[in-house]
Structure 1
Amino acid sequence: MQNFEFAWKTADGLELYAQGWLPEIPLEAVICLVHGLGEHSGRYFRLAAYLTRAGCAVLAFDQRGCGKSQGLRGHIPSYEVALDDISHLLDEAGQRFPDSPCFLYGHSLGGNLVINYVLRRFPRLAGIIATSPWLRLAFEPPAFKVRLGRIMNSVWPSFTQANCLDIQALCRDPEVVEAYKQDPLVHNRISARLFTTAFNSGKWALEHAEEFKLPLLLMHGSADRITSPQASSQFAKEVPGDCTFKLWDGLYHEIHNEREHQDVLNFLVEWIKAHLS
């Protein structure tokens, strides 16, 4: 596959880093990828390699404050601005691949964002893929931290603290966990604004699931200790149209990085092929 890099300037003056992967076989679809909290697009190289072998181009960007993109680590000025950044990625896809079906794919925080993007922005896309979306956390955050986040969101929204992510809960493969620990582009910060808006938007999405109108593939590991598989199941049951929910027994948060990733990615590609038009 061929890898290329590009960037764009946001309305508030940040440069966001992006990259793409092209297949060596005829193009069938383009996948726009939105990564999770504190990570970056480069962690999806293996996923991109698999998708390109299936004839898909992949476009991904480092969210503001992440990876090689500019911005305060772990902070967004507003949830709407984060959705605007996704709009730009989709615009890039439309300009580069105007005749190809486009799918929007989000993992974890990215899953929260892409689900809300559909509910709030009503895009015309071939389908949506959400893996381990942050609709609810798999644990109850301390009440004082939630209250502190809400207070700071009002008085100092860019205030950041450690996200307290349980790195061991990412994946059962110790090599993946160790690579995450050693990755210089990964960070552990989250701002009051990002936490509060993502927390509230996950809840809002659950309350508006019956308004979701696009084909959806929603996948989660049953042993995820970071985001709630029960919330994903609840969301899928409320979606009125074309929704496929796949619960992967015993898998952790990063189902695309687990030892069973071949099965996960095979399932993903088969769903994409079934929704090409």
Structure 2
Amino acid sequence: MPFFDGATGRVYYRHWSTPDPRAALVFLHGFGEHTGLYHRYAAELGAHGIDLWALDEIGHGLTEGSRGHFGSLDDLVQNARVLASLAREHGIPLVVGGHSLGSLVAVLTALEEDFRGVVVSGAPLSPLAWLTEAAGETLDLDPEALSSDPFYLDQLETDPSRSPPATSWSCWPPRSRRPGSASTRSCPACGCRCWPCTARTTRSRRSTASGDGRSGCPACGSR
């Protein structure tokens, strides 16, 4: 597996290549994620002739470090610059991008490196009062606050490589996912179970009205 020596230890990275690429994206993931969550993203970029380079941030995925502790932004930027140098060896136009925490790293890296462009999503570029007040405390996050994509949410909850582990989120499964959730595992906190349905649908589809006017699962009719 590919690693390089990073700011605080070994860093795992991936390169999704495509034949005759016209550009490449160096991508930095968000807190609690890892590169394995971005296979579909890589496939979509590859279909348009764009290579994807991505790394597991410090304390995430297969990169060394205490789980969920990413160190300093300076360390993350240093690692991003090493990844960018590996991508530059292929001699094609390079763009840097990131999501959430990774978006900050992408912007800071772009201030020190020359890229053709910067692409960010979920970028906390302005001070967030609630986050400042929570500094030093454990955050009780509901994964559904992060995305409406059911496949991504399923990965967040079941993937053992994510950081922090799924049991550190709020009560599993999230309230809005219980109808129509594909999993029947028990919540480690309270023992509740989601409904035994194999539907993988978005929240809006799960609220589709059934024939008698009551809300039911569009796949099995459970209420």
- Please indicate the TM-score interval, normalised by the length of the shorter structure: 0.5 to 0.7
Amino acid at match of 1:81: D
Amino acid at match of 1:10: G
- Choose 1 or 2 for highest CA Rg: 2
Q: Is the 8 A contact 1:163 1:188 kept in 2?
A: no
Percent identity of paired positions between Structure 1 and Structure 2:
28
Q: SS in structure 2 opposite 1:140?
A: helix
Higher relative contact order (CA 8 A, sep 6+): 1
Whether 2:32 is the aligned partner of 1:58: answer no
Q: CA deviation at 1:88?
A: 0.4
Q: CA deviation at 1:47?
A: 0.6
Q: Is the 8 A contact 1:165 1:188 kept in 2?
A: no
* Aligned pairs (5 A) from 1:34-73: 34-73=28-67
Amino acid at match of 1:41: T
Q: SS in structure 1 opposite 2:104?
A: helix
- 2:33 and 2:72 map into 1 onto residues whose CA distance is 19
- Number of residues of Structure 1 aligned to a counterpart in Structure 2: 167
Q: SS in structure 1 opposite 2:2?
A: strand
Whether 2:153 is the aligned partner of 1:177: answer yes
What are the Cα deviations for residues 38-57 of structure 1, in whole angstroms up to 9, with x where unaligned? Answer: 11011110010011111111
- 2:52 and 2:62 map into 1 onto residues whose CA distance is 18
CA RMSD of aligned residues (A): 2.3
Q: CA deviation at 1:166?
A: 2.1
Q: Tell me what 1:103 maps to.
A: 95
What are the Cα deviations for residues 93-129 of structure 1, in whole angstroms up to 9, with x where unaligned? Answer: 112x1x200000101110111112223x2x1111110
- 2:4 and 2:122 map into 1 onto residues whose CA distance is 28
Relative to structure 1, is the Cα distance of residues 51 and 175 closer, same or farther in structure 2, using a 3 angstrom cutoff? Answer: closer
- 1:132 and 1:141 map into 2 onto residues whose CA distance is 14
- 2:101 and 2:132 map into 1 onto residues whose CA distance is 19
Q: SS in structure 1 opposite 2:3?
A: strand
Q: CA deviation at 1:136?
A: 4.0
- 2:150 and 2:117 map into 1 onto residues whose CA distance is 33
Amino acid at match of 2:12: Y
Q: Tell me what 1:152 maps to.
A: none
Whether 2:25 is the aligned partner of 1:31: answer yes
- 1:182 and 1:139 map into 2 onto residues whose CA distance is 31
TM-score, reference length from structure 2: 0.68
> 1:126 pairs with 109, 116, 122, which one?
116
* Aligned pairs (5 A) from 1:1-277: 5-12=1-8, 14-24=9-19, 26-95=20-89, 97=90, 99-119=91-111, 121=112, 123-136=113-126, 140-141=130-131, 143=133, 145-146=134-135, 149=136, 162-188=138-164
- 2:7 and 2:107 map into 1 onto residues whose CA distance is 23
Gaps of 5+ in 2: 166-201, 204-223
- 2:42 and 2:49 map into 1 onto residues whose CA distance is 11
TM-score, reference length from structure 1: 0.55
- 2:42 and 2:58 map into 1 onto residues whose CA distance is 21
What are the Cα deviations for residues 70-100 of structure 1, in whole angstroms up to 9, with x where unaligned? Answer: 11112233221111001101011112x1x20
Greater share of helix: 1
Q: CA deviation at 1:138?
A: 6.6
